Structure 1
Amino acid sequence: MSGQLRLLAGIAARHLAGRRRQTLVAVSGVAVGVGFFLAVSAMMIGSQNDFVETLIDAAPHIIISDERRSPPAQPGVRAYPGAAIDLRHYRVRSEVRGLKGWPEILRAVNAEPGAIGSPSLTGAITLRSGGREEALTVIGVDPAIEEKVSTISDQLRTGRLRDLESTQGGIIIGEEMAERLGIGMGDMVGATSASGKSRSLRIVGLFKRGQSQLGPSAGYVLLREAQSLLGRPFIINRIGVRLADPYGAQPVGLRLEQRFSYKAESWQERSADFLSLLVTRNVIMYSVVSAILLVASFGIYSVVSNSVTDKRRDIAIMRSMGFSERDLQLIFVFEGLALAVIGIMAGWLLGYGLMAILGSLKFPIAGDDQYLPLDRSPRQYAIAAAASLFAGVIAAWLPARKAARVDPVDILRGAV
Structure 2
Amino acid sequence: MSYELFVSLRYLRAKRKQTFISVISFISIGGVTLGVAALIVVLAVMTGFHDGVRQQILGNLPNILVQKYGEPLSEYTDIAERIEKTPGVSAVTPFIAREAMLLSGGNVAAVQVKGVESGNKAFDQDALTVGGQDLETLLFEAPDTKPGIVISLDSATTLGVAVGDTINVIPPMFTLTPFGMVPKMKPFQVVGIIRQQGSLVDTYYAYIGLATAQKFFELEEQVTGIEVDVANFDHTAQVVSTLRDEFAFPFTVRSWQDMFGSFLSALKLEKLGLFIVLGIIVLVAAFNIATTLIMVVMEKHKDIAILRSMGATSRSIMKIFVFEGAIIGTLGTSLGTGLGLLIAVNADPIIKKIESLFGLKIFDQTVYGMDTFPSVVNTGDVVSVVIVAMAISLLATIYPAWHASRMDPAEALRYE
Aligned with 1:143: secondary structure? coil
**Superposition TM-score, scaled by structure 1 size:** 0.80
Q: Is residue 280 from structure 1 mapped to residue 269 from structure 2 by the alignment? A: yes
CA contact (8 A) 1:164 1:222 kept: yes
Matches within 5 A, 1:266-345: 266-345=255-334
C-alpha distance in structure 1 between counterparts of 2:161 and 2:386, whole Å? 58
Q: Percent identity?
A: 25
Q: 1:42 is matched with which residue: 41, 44, 50? A: 44
* Alignment RMSD (CA, Å): 3.0
- Which residue does the alignment assign to 1:87? none
Q: Is residue 241 from structure 1 mapped to residue 228 from structure 2 by the alignment? A: yes
Aligned with 1:121: secondary structure? strand
Give the deviation of 1:130 after TM superposition.
6.2
Q: 1:11 is matched with which residue: 7, 10, 18? A: 7
CA 1:40–1:133: 2 relative to 1, 3 Å: closer
- Which residue does the alignment assign to 1:78? none
- Which residue does the alignment assign to 2:215? 228
**Superposition TM-score, scaled by structure 2 size:** 0.80
Aligned with 1:116: secondary structure? strand
Aligned with 1:232: secondary structure? coil
Q: 1:160 is matched with which residue: 135, 143, 162? A: 135
Aligned with 2:26: secondary structure? helix
CA 1:336–1:121: 2 relative to 1, 3 Å: same
CA contact (8 A) 1:37 1:292 kept: no
Q: Is residue 394 from structure 1 mapped to residue 395 from structure 2 by the alignment? A: yes
C-alpha distance in structure 1 between counterparts of 2:40 and 2:9, whole Å? 28
Give the deviation of 1:247 after TM superposition.
2.6
CA contact (8 A) 2:240 2:253 kept: yes
Give the deviation of 1:99 after TM superposition.
1.5
- Which residue does the alignment assign to 1:24? 26
CA 1:58–1:7: 2 relative to 1, 3 Å: farther
CA 1:329–1:280: 2 relative to 1, 3 Å: same
- Which residue does the alignment assign to 2:162? 184
CA contact (8 A) 2:108 2:158 kept: no
CA 1:204–1:336: 2 relative to 1, 3 Å: same
- Which residue does the alignment assign to 1:98? 72
Aligned with 2:188: secondary structure? strand
1:278-323 deviation per Cα after TM superposition (whole angstroms, max 9, x unaligned): 2331232011111000001122112211111222222222223222
| Residue-pair matches, total | 378
Mind listing any 5+ residue stretches in structure 2 that lack a counterpart? 176-183, 353-362
C-alpha distance in structure 2 between counterparts of 1:312 and 1:241, whole Å? 72
1:198-257 deviation per Cα after TM superposition (whole angstroms, max 9, x unaligned): 7653321123454441354x4211111211222222211211111111132233223213
Q: 1:205 is matched with which residue: 164, 185, 192? A: 192
Give the deviation of 1:409 after TM superposition.
3.3
Structure 1 residue runs of 4+, over 6 Å off?
130-135
CA contact (8 A) 1:191 1:198 kept: yes
- Which residue does the alignment assign to 2:253? 264
Q: Is residue 405 from structure 1 mapped to residue 406 from structure 2 by the alignment? A: yes
- Which residue does the alignment assign to 2:355? none
CA contact (8 A) 1:174 1:219 kept: yes
Deviates more, 1:50-59 or 1:305-314: 50-59
Give the deviation of 1:347 after TM superposition.
1.9
Mind listing any 5+ residue stretches in structure 1 that lack a counterpart? 69-96
Kindly provide the amino acid, as one letter, of the partner of residue 153 in structure 1. Answer: D
Aligned with 1:271: secondary structure? helix
Q: Is residue 141 from structure 1 mapped to residue 116 from structure 2 by the alignment? A: yes
C-alpha distance in structure 2 between counterparts of 1:340 and 1:405, whole Å? 24
Kindly provide the amino acid, as one letter, of the partner of residue 241 in structure 2. Answer: L
CA contact (8 A) 1:109 1:116 kept: no
CA contact (8 A) 1:156 1:205 kept: yes
1:145-203 deviation per Cα after TM superposition (whole angstroms, max 9, x unaligned): x22xxx44316343624432232322212345445656432344555663758765332
Q: Is residue 117 from structure 1 mapped to residue 119 from structure 2 by the alignment? A: no
CA contact (8 A) 2:345 2:377 kept: no
CA contact (8 A) 2:31 2:281 kept: no
